[in-house]
Every structure is written in structure tokens, then in C-alpha cells.
Structure 1
């Protein structure tokens, strides 16, 4: 099935309150003679089976999807019955120390005493079939507590106690009606300090105490005290046999998880847990847009710990997923909007239902709700701004949850360590996911396959794995072509190169690296670090325009490494401009300028080509006379030009950008009777070189040097 067919199957069975899915499930459940309280669990299990079945179903299997799904549901229900009825998942009688009470059976084996589940909807007795156990169970509601809360709300005190002095004062001033500017003047704080404190207030986890649905959980401090008193002996490193299989994987809606957190059913403050609201703005927006696009997120993990005497004797701790649940709750309560930074797929299709004048949905002839497909822009929106369809999608969003049973503090810490035992993507690994495959391929072709990066750069294996060499390629491109648009942030640099760099520019970098690899050895690695290589690539590019033999560049690098790095030139030295801010534009630019100035001084001004001369003032004929010989006349010029036209394809960058330099070089080749060599050289040079200097003098000297090398190697 393709994606559209899969979606149709899911909507058919899961839509309309799972009408068609329940038709398949109800006959199977009826045969099991299970209490009604298990029905929802089985429906939830069937939903999971549906999602798995649409992925694994094959059209060529010869079995109808309905039959395939029904068979999978039967198998899954059988596994559910086997696992859920296992002794380790049942409530057992415990002594005052919390240990299971065991008695001998008819075979003399010790067995735990199982306490059967009691249905709240079960009748009190046979005589009173109208009253249920649930109706006679105390609710814990106390009108006196409600009245006292109206007089004095503890939550306000708890929240204020959690704030810093300046945050508390800021909040009081804002609540008194004072505007932002007045608050800043009163507290003598800057705009940055104001925004920073306001963000801390909004993200304070205690703010969720004001949700009116939250239960009063007086036992919480008692739980904490009892946790501290329990000591577990680490006798060995072997995990208990029951522990290895004491878990279950389910699906929960975001709405239900948030409700469990707010009502005290789910404790999100385990002693070893991190604090909430630790994400960056980019991570937050990616998360919200992913959920609203109905794309799966990583699972959450809950550990249940049994503590004797504390309420029901069990606490459920959220040990993985705190950030996801905290931000979801904050968004649900309209505390955080979706912003543009980091957000992806920000425009979402949704169903806009039609309503009549009474506020009821309009139905078609098949009694289905009428709707149109619209597009909604998520940027700048709070939960309250979402259309009904997207609010429901957020509330009902399915989250995979793994729940561990009968956990000790030791095992909870074990799960905390292991679920967080991973390495997040580095900036460079993340950055390359933000660009096109074409650009990523070009970058990695250089960083992973070019000999220069294998042999000449000083880089640890660990750094290579984090993608630092890919960043060197990107920043080398920025240095060569886009210095005015320099990006300090790695991800921004990746995106800029993806959008602006050309194939010719990548080819030119490849050629520079070829030349650098040819001349650089082991000694030069000390200078070619991952933070300096792109600087040296630009310097070598400047050097290549001087018409000097490449081998002499190493001569300069050695002098630089020993003495020149501390030498002042134009009022500054390399050591002075080389700061810790290695990726700042001004630092990189200053380093390139100082090294280039030192290089020009080292080799002498006489061999420097002055690129400031504007050849636009010279005609092609005048350029040849100036750079070859005053004896060249117009007839000679036309002859050399025709020779170039015959030797070089007119649609190549070499011909288009270097015609005057080519004619001048052809004049020299003809004078030295090397016109045949010129033709073969030009074909190779045009293939290997795509990017050229705007200066025809630079191009001429560079090509002349290369042509002479070619003729020498051909002898």
C-alpha cells in the first residue's frame, strides 16, 4: 500500500470513535469473558496493531486487509491476556514491611497471595444491584479545604517562593499594571535582563500548579521522606529475573499524560531527574511543528516504585520525556507560542468543518460531517489559536510509553542513566541535514575522500566523527568566495553554501586542495588545525596568484611557524589578531590579511602581481603587446586569435573569461614553436579549471607557469 492507502485504512478503522475497529474487537473480547474495565486496554492494543498492520500488509499476499488485521488482533489479544494476567502484574498481599506474603500451595511450593481486582462499576451486593462500589467510595473531596483555598492559596506562595527576588519584584510590578519600560526603570535592569527574567518566570515548573484540574497531593512530601529512608543493598551485579521482564509498552495521548501530571498521578520530579524547560528555542519549535504534523516522537518512560504506606503504595515517575511533556503542557496552557526559528513544515493542512446556526456540524446525505481542506500557518500561534481539528490532533497525539513495574531507586537510576546514554548530534552533523543532498555530497566528497583531509590536517578521530571536517570545507568556501557574508553559526554557513555555491567554485577548491596536498607534509600539520585550515586555504589561494612555484609556499609556512607569527606588520602581528573567537568574521579576516601581508613581504614586492590594475582600459590587442612584445602587430594578433579559436572550445569558462590571456600565451607558444603543445595543454587546462581571477594579468601569469610545467613534463 502507498501512503495514501495506508492513511485511508487508518481513518476507516480508527475514525468515528473506532467504529469499525470495535466491530472487529468486540466479538473477540466477548469470548474472553473479561470485565468491562479491561475493554479500553484492549481497544488501545488494537489501535497499536492497526498501525503495525498497515505497515506490514502486502497487497500480493492474497489475504484481504480486514482478515489480516483481524488475525493480528486475535494474536495480540492472546499475548495481552497471557502477559497481563501473569502473577508479577497482579496486586499481591504484602506485610507491614512491604514484602509479598507467601503461602504454600497443595504441592508445598511458596506462592504469593493475589488480591483480585475490584471493578468500581460492580454492584455492592446481589440485593442492591443499583448501587455500585464506585458510588460508595470516598472521593476525598472536602468543602472546608476548598473554602480555605479561596481565602489563601498555597500554590501562590509555592510559586512565589520558587522565584528569585528580582523575578518576584518584576512580577508584582507587572501585576500592578506597570508597563515594561517603567518596570525596567524601577528595577534598574536592561532589556536583555528583563526578557531573561520573564522567560524564567514563564518556564518555571511551579506555574502549572495553578491549573484548576490539579489534585491536592498532600502525600507528596511523605513519599519523598520515605524514599530517603529506604536503603537497598547492592549485593551483586545480577539483575533480578522478574525485573528483566517487568515492563509494558503502551500508547498514551498527550492529553492524558498532561492530565496525569497535573492530577498528581505522574510524578515528574524524581530526585535524579533533570530540570524541565532545558531546550533551545529551535528545539522547542521543531517539537511543536512535528507534533502538529502528526509525526511520531521518541518514547517516554515511566517507572513505578512501590513504597509501603504511601497512599496506594505506588508512585509513577516520569524518567524520560520530561522536556517533551513539560513543553507540551506549557503549549496546551497557552504559555508558549510557536516561533519561526527551527520550525519545519509550518503550514499544515486541516479539516475545516461546517456548522449550522445552532453550532452543530452540518452533515451530508451519508450523515458525515461536511468539511473543506484548508491550510493553517503555525508561526506565532498559541494553542488557543489553533483550529479545532489541530487542537484535537495535539490532544490525541499518540506517544509510545514504556512502563516499568516494581522499580527500586537503584533500578530507576539505572534506567535514567541508560535512556540518556546517547550522544546528541553535533552542530556540524545537524547542519548537514539542513542542506540538499547535492550540496552534502559535494562537501563530503572533499572532507571524507580528498587526500588533503586524510594526510595534511591535524584532526583527532573523535573530531572527525563529529563532522568537523565538513565544517572546514564549508568555511573554506566562505573564505574563498563569500567573506562579506560570513556566518559564525555552523548551520547558517551550511545553508548559505547550499544556496549560493556553484559547481565551479567547488571544483576550484578541489584544485587548491590538490596543490596543497602535493606540497604540504607532516611538519605543516601543526599549522593546519581544524580552526586554522580554512584561513590557510584562502592564503594559499592568494599565493597561487603570485606566479611563484608552489613548493616555495612551504618555505613560507616554516618561516611563519618559527618566527613570522609574532612579527609585526602594518602595526599588528598574527599572535595579536589570533583570538579565541576563531569563527568570528573579524578574526578570520584579520588572520588572512596578516598572513598574506607577511607572505608578500617574505617573497618580495617585485614578484607580486598588482591586481588593482584594471585591464578593462586595455583592448585585447594592447594586452598582448604589453605582456608579450611591442613587435606584435595587428596581423600577428589576428593570427594568434584564430589559433586560440581553433584550440579552445568557445563555450568553456576558460575561453569566456580568459581570452586576452590565452591570446598572449598563444603568442609566446608560437614564438617558441610550442603551438602543438598549447592545443593539448589548453584542452586539459579547460577541463581542470573553471574558476578564474578577474585580473587577466593574474590569469596570464598563472597559465604561463602551468604551461611551462606542462611542456617540461612532456619532454
Structure 2
């Protein structure tokens, strides 16, 4: 039977004082060093403590020592502890990397609100200092541990896989997350694209959908930083835009099959799907779009585009900044020019007939 764990809740100030006195140790040899978090992560935790929001329990291992008092070691919570310690005693200044910086206070020292950006502990109003110091820190203590068992606890509790950037960004698009997740299960991605299983697991399908809608309908507000793009799409995207994409995926799956699988990868799929969405808004015949893709593979990819200084699409793809706003808008613009040029010499009826002849042969 396993050892019975116990729980104890400290006020934050008492918890930090215990760490300062060495009653709770954070410097186990096998433990990751403090300071792994970036400013945004530190800011969010400080906001959590000041607003009394939920923080996961800190995990402690109680090491037995012959002839000496037991010692508590941090198994999980080093980064949180060092962050809170830095703000309370280290004059850490909260940066602007914070989703919500406004905290409501009682009128008196403030006008009823306090902006946390740029604040250090000593600049907080008294009410918030008290809220920080009295914030409850729940701990879970594994008793009677050997040195080896303490190491095992550290390994177990620090073995989680963090969210990928795509998965994190999707949390900002919560208004449309259900639609996005549904579209990510569309047969197009399995039958017509060349994503890896790892990319699927890490949320790349979902993020390609977000990139597609943004590029197709909001390219002027494209953001390289995924979190910012997600926030914009959550506010300014529409259900109709996702429905247009759904319709395009339905028709493209039936039309393309596996012929252009290599073009629809994690790097470029959003560009092609955004182009298809724009095309579908003004032209019902996606068979013509299939003809354009074929011509692009054959020779249009290296055709100079006059509007863009006679540069080719291949030259634009050589850029290492494939997700920069300027690059995305340029690539979409070049493709639209090539598409218009190709359509001017190929009627939809011609392409439909060619498709029919292919199926018969």
C-alpha cells in the first residue's frame, strides 16, 4: 500500500518565508533550475495571486534523515515559487506581456482599478499587497521519502509535455473552437494533404484552419505571432467565413483527391486554401481552380509576375520569413495574379471537359 499523502495550505507569505529559511528546499540536484519561465508566464502567475484565482497545488517530498528533522523538497513548483519570490522580494517589474492587466480594487488608494503593467510589489496599493501575501498556497506532501524517491517525484511531476504553439494559440479562438475542431476532422486533410501524424497531434490542422480564414478574409491584420492572430480572429472572425472554408474543403476533397497532396503541407496549405476561399466567393466552378493548380505545378510556379517586379512565386518561397505579414500578402497577391492570367486563357467549360475526358480515359 502506498504512503498516505497529506495536504496543507499556507498563506503565500508564510510559504515564501519557509523557502527563505530553508524549511522548504528548491535546490535539489536533479531539479531543473529556477528561471525557466518567460515574462508572460511570470506576469500571469502574479496576476493569479493578486486576484485570488486558482493555482495548482505545489508538490513536496518529505525526506527522512537519520537523527535529523525531515526536510521538505520541492518536486513540482520550483518555477512558480521562484516567480512569486522574485516579485515579493526581488523588485520584479510586471511587463506588458499580460492578457489582462486591470485589477478591480476598493476606491481609496486607487480609482477602483489598478493597472498591473509596470508594477513592482512595493508600488501595489495596500489592498493588493495584502491579497498577495494572504493568497492560499495548497501543498501536497509525500511523506517518508528516500533520496531516490524524491528524485522519482521530480521526474514524474516534471515529465508533462507543454502545449505546442498551435495548441496554445487555439485557446484564444474560443468563440470558434468547436467549428475549428470539427473542420480539423475533415476528410480533406487525410485524403488530399500531406500532414504528418505528429502535426495532427500537435494541433497543426486546427491552426492551418485559423491561418486560412485570416489570410482569406483578414490578410491586412495578419499576425506572425500566433497568439495575437488567435485573439484577432476570435473578435473579428465570422461564422460565415468558416462556412465558406467548409464548403471549399468539401468540394476540394471531391475534386483534388491525391493529385496535389504535396502542395497542401503544413507550410503552404493555408495559402492555397485561402486562395481557394477567395476564388469560391466569386466563382462557383472550383474545377477551374483544379486546372490552375495543375498548370501551377507544371510551369506557373516559375513564371515572372509583372506586378511584383517580374519575380516568380518560387522566389517568394525562398524567403525564410514565410509567416511574416508582408510575405503572406505578397504570396497571395502573386497567386491571384497568376490565377487571373490563367483564367483569362482557359474557360471553365474547357476545364470541365478536360476533367471529364480524364475520368473516361
CA contact (8 A) 1:349 1:376 kept: yes
CA contact (8 A) 1:546 1:607 kept: no
Q: What corresponds to 1:577 in structure 2?
A: 316
Taking a change above 3 Å as real, the CA distance of residues 307 and 569 of structure 1, as seen in their structure-2 partners, is same
Q: What corresponds to 1:330 in structure 2?
A: 86
CA distance in 1, matches of 2:28, 2:10: 21
Q: Which runs of 5+ in 2 are unaligned?
A: 352-361
CA distance in 1, matches of 2:56, 2:208: 32
- Please tell me whether residue 420 in structure 1 is matched to residue 158 in structure 2: yes
Q: What corresponds to 1:441 in structure 2?
A: 178
- Please tell me whether residue 405 in structure 1 is matched to residue 143 in structure 2: yes
CA contact (8 A) 1:472 1:530 kept: yes
CA distance in 2, matches of 1:556, 1:588: 20
Alignment of 1:130-169 (within 5 A): none
Taking a change above 3 Å as real, the CA distance of residues 604 and 303 of structure 1, as seen in their structure-2 partners, is closer
Q: What corresponds to 2:54 in structure 1?
A: 296
CA distance in 1, matches of 2:60, 2:113: 36
Deviations 1:319-364 (A, max 9, x none): 21111111111111251123332243622234869xxxxxxxxxxx
Residue 178 of structure 2 aligns to a residue in which SS?
A: helix
How far the C-alpha of 1:580 sits from its partner, in A, is 4.1
CA contact (8 A) 2:192 2:259 kept: no
CA distance in 1, matches of 2:282, 2:111: 64
Q: What corresponds to 1:103 in structure 2?
A: none
Query: Normalization by structure 1: what TM-score?
Result: 0.44
CA contact (8 A) 1:547 1:607 kept: no
CA distance in 2, matches of 1:556, 1:378: 53
CA distance in 2, matches of 1:478, 1:575: 23
Rg larger for: 1
- Cα-Cα RMSD: 3.2
- Per mean C-alpha deviation after superposition, the further-off stretch among 496-505 and 317-326 is 496-505
CA distance in 1, matches of 2:98, 2:155: 28
Q: What corresponds to 2:250 in structure 1?
A: 514
How far the C-alpha of 1:298 sits from its partner, in A, is 0.9
Taking a change above 3 Å as real, the CA distance of residues 248 and 600 of structure 1, as seen in their structure-2 partners, is same
CA distance in 1, matches of 2:97, 2:276: 37
Alignment of 1:163-202 (within 5 A): none
How far the C-alpha of 1:274 sits from its partner, in A, is 1.1
Q: What corresponds to 2:357 in structure 1?
A: none
- Please tell me whether residue 471 in structure 1 is matched to residue 219 in structure 2: no
Taking a change above 3 Å as real, the CA distance of residues 247 and 544 of structure 1, as seen in their structure-2 partners, is closer
Deviations 1:565-586 (A, max 9, x none): 4x24134333332244332223
Choose which of 264, 279, 283 in structure 1 pairs with 2:41.
283
Choose which of 3, 9, 23 in structure 2 pairs with 1:265.
23
Alignment of 1:278-427 (within 5 A): 278-308=36-66, 312=68, 314-333=70-89, 335-344=91-100, 346-350=102-106, 374-427=112-165
CA distance in 1, matches of 2:36, 2:106: 31
Q: What corresponds to 2:168 in structure 1?
A: 430
CA distance in 2, matches of 1:416, 1:351: 44
Choose which of 263, 269, 277 in structure 2 pairs with 1:527.
263
Query: Normalization by structure 2: what TM-score?
Result: 0.83
CA distance in 1, matches of 2:324, 2:58: 40
CA distance in 2, matches of 1:558, 1:604: 13
CA distance in 2, matches of 1:465, 1:427: 12
Q: Which runs of 5+ in 1 are unaligned?
A: 1-240, 354-371, 609-700, 706-715
CA contact (8 A) 2:11 2:135 kept: yes
- Please tell me whether residue 457 in structure 1 is matched to residue 193 in structure 2: yes
How far the C-alpha of 1:547 sits from its partner, in A, is 6.1
Taking a change above 3 Å as real, the CA distance of residues 396 and 455 of structure 1, as seen in their structure-2 partners, is same
Residue 317 of structure 1 aligns to a residue in which SS?
A: strand
CA distance in 2, matches of 1:547, 1:247: 65
- Please tell me whether residue 250 in structure 1 is matched to residue 8 in structure 2: yes
Taking a change above 3 Å as real, the CA distance of residues 510 and 308 of structure 1, as seen in their structure-2 partners, is same
How far the C-alpha of 1:380 sits from its partner, in A, is 2.5
Deviations 1:616-662 (A, max 9, x none): xxxxxxxxxxxxxxxxxxxxxxxxxxxxxxxxxxxxxxxxxxxxxxx
Taking a change above 3 Å as real, the CA distance of residues 545 and 302 of structure 1, as seen in their structure-2 partners, is closer
CA contact (8 A) 2:59 2:74 kept: yes
Q: What corresponds to 2:216 in structure 1?
A: 480
Taking a change above 3 Å as real, the CA distance of residues 433 and 546 of structure 1, as seen in their structure-2 partners, is closer
